[in-house]
Amino acid sequence: MSDAAPDAADRAAPEKIRCDACPVMCYIAPGQTGACDRYANAAGRIVRTDPVVMLSHALTGGQRIVPFAAADWDGETVPPDTFVTGIGSGTTYPDYKPAPFIVSSQVAGADMVTVVTEAIFSYCGVKVKIDTDRFLGPEGAVVRVQGEPVGHVTTAEYGSQMLSLGGVHHLTGGSKPEGRITCAAMLSLCNGEAVEMEIEGGARVVVQAGQPPIVDGRPERRMRVGCGSATIGMFAAQWRGLVDEVVVVDDHITGVVSEHQAGKVLGWEPTGIKIKGHRSTPGRYFRVSEPGLGWGGTRLTDPLEILGDWQEKKGARPGLTLLMVSTTGEDHAFYVLDAALKPVQQPLPEALRDTVALIDENCEPSLCTVLFVGGAGGSLRAGVAKNPVRLTRSVQGGVTRLTSGGAECFVWPGGGITFMVDVLDLPKGAFGYVPTPALVAPLEFTLPRADYLAMGGHEAAIRSLDRAVAEGGEYPTAARLESWPLR
């Protein structure tokens, strides 16, 4: 009835403002933030809780806060080389409107335009490179965080194990906990935080960009110098005259110096050694052991397990010396054949210590690398140009330069705008999220003004840097000016 008392929800509704910065469309009460903690109701206006990040090579002495739309702005607060990033800028959602900032500038005398936005990515993931020989899990194994599947193990690369995490199927195609935890794990990784994950049939790994991986509680120290064969090729000359035989134990290719071409060229004598494994080419053996956390990424704790009986007719003799070493030099042992042609471990001779140390010295530090991968879809591109496909062609043709938080991106060939960026090249805290769930990442498109207009760019929305600061934007209230990230 018309005279019925309004309920509590009706009374509260007029105080709330609907935020349209993402598909969740939160109603936000005064002084509160939305579900993403990125937008707030400040005195009846939706604002970004974080400032826009602007970068300058000329800035010294840390960071500086620049107020937007300030009446007393003197016009000299921002250095002329300032680059406006998408971090904190706001989005184009619901995508019919121009990007939050379309800034004109001059670069080497040329008129340029930079289109700046925070992009909402349901189609996104991270590729993780983990420098280790340790067995993390079989290829294709599911990677879990807090018990939920968030990705899988992909093909191993030279000296590194690779994970593919996230993607639209984990974000939106599974259960709500799967999507939520996948989004949270990717957000932490992209913002440089540590994430613990468990690989089915493999190890528990702590991954953090720019830090050594922790495998089953053990921090990794060194990335292997090469496979066993490559190690033989690099260091055979160092061992010549110091030891009769060298075996470099490796999960992929174990090397034997007396049989290897490097040893043959150097005049190495046959030793009668017998390796248990699949012989590939002379001095190179596959599958000497199952993969694991032991010597050279194998399951071995005793390297003698890969040796068969020594053959006297092929050069074995009492007193023959043997060095067995891993591809990082961390594991090594020295043996002498006894009268029964059995290897007996002895202390490592001083003359060989330098050769083992040389392997270690040539191993690079073991680190985790996190690359964010996103696909810039049609709706986002509409905030840049009225004919979005022209932006795609411009990026693919190299006319438009794509950056993320000011960092250079690798753009995949083929259709669409699929890019990768190293998260450590972006300013800290560059990534956000919305609880749809999806990640939010900064994007900037920079191109000549004439080309921007030719593709149907939003000409009326172009502003100079001074105007952008003086007038502000739809959401931001301040900017954080800082120097370009250095690593």
* For residue 260, pLDDT beyond 50: yes
Average pLDDT estimate for 414-440 = 94
Q: For position 213, what pLDDT does the model report?
A: 98
Strand 478-482, strand 52-55: pairing:
parallel
Lowest mean pLDDT among 4-18, 164-178, 266-280, 301-315: 4-18
pLDDT band at 487 (very low <50, low <70, confident <90, very high): low
CA distances 436 to 184, 206, 372, Å, are: 12, 26, 19
Residues 6+ apart with CB under 8 A from 441: 86, 118, 119, 121, 124, 190, 372, 374, 404, 405, 430, 431
Statement: residue 121 has pLDDT above 70: yes
Place 141 in a pLDDT band, splitting at 50, 70 and 90.
Answer: very high
pLDDT at 471: 84
pTM, two decimals, is: 0.88
Residue % of the chain over a pLDDT of 70: 94
Residue 8 pLDDT greater than 70, yes or no: no
DSSP H or E run through 153: strand 148-153
* Domain edges within the chain: 8-48, 52-122+377-482, 136-152+165-221, 228-361
Structure tokens at 143: 């990677």
Spatial separation of the C-alpha atoms in residues 455 and 324, rounded to whole Å = 64
pLDDT of residue 93: 82
Residue type, 359: I
Q: Give, in order, the Cα–Cα distances in Å from 452 to each of 89, 91, 413.
A: 20, 20, 21
In this model, does residue 69 exceed pLDDT 80?
no
Quick one: pLDDT band at residue 61, thresholds 50, 70, 90? low
Q: Whole-number mean pLDDT of the chain?
A: 91
Mean pLDDT of 227-231: 95
Q: How far apart are the first and last CA of the chain?
A: 67
Q: What is the residue-wise DSSP string for 48-59? A: ESSPEEEE-SS-
Half-sphere exposure at residue 104, Cβ-oriented, CA atoms within 13 angstroms: 18
Q: Is the dihedral of CA 423, 35, 121, 205 positive or negative?
A: positive
Burial class (CB in 10 A: 0-12, 13-18, 19+), 388: buried
Res 13 pLDDT > 70: no
The pLDDT-based confidence of 469 (bands split at 50, 70, 90) is confident
pLDDT at res. 196: 98
What is the pLDDT, as a whole number, of residue 68?
80
**Residue 181 pLDDT more than 90?**
yes
**Band (423; pLDDT cuts 50, 70, 90):** very high
DSSP class of 98: P
Mean pLDDT, range 394-421, rounded to an integer: 95
Q: How confident is the model at residue 200 (pLDDT cuts 50, 70, 90)?
A: very high
Stretch 43-56: mean pLDDT:
88
Beta-strand ranges (E) seen in 154-264 are 160-166, 195-199, 204-207, 214-215, 218-219, 245-249, 254-256
- C-alpha dihedral over 155, 193, 49, 125, to 10 degrees? 10
pLDDT in the model for residue 286: 96
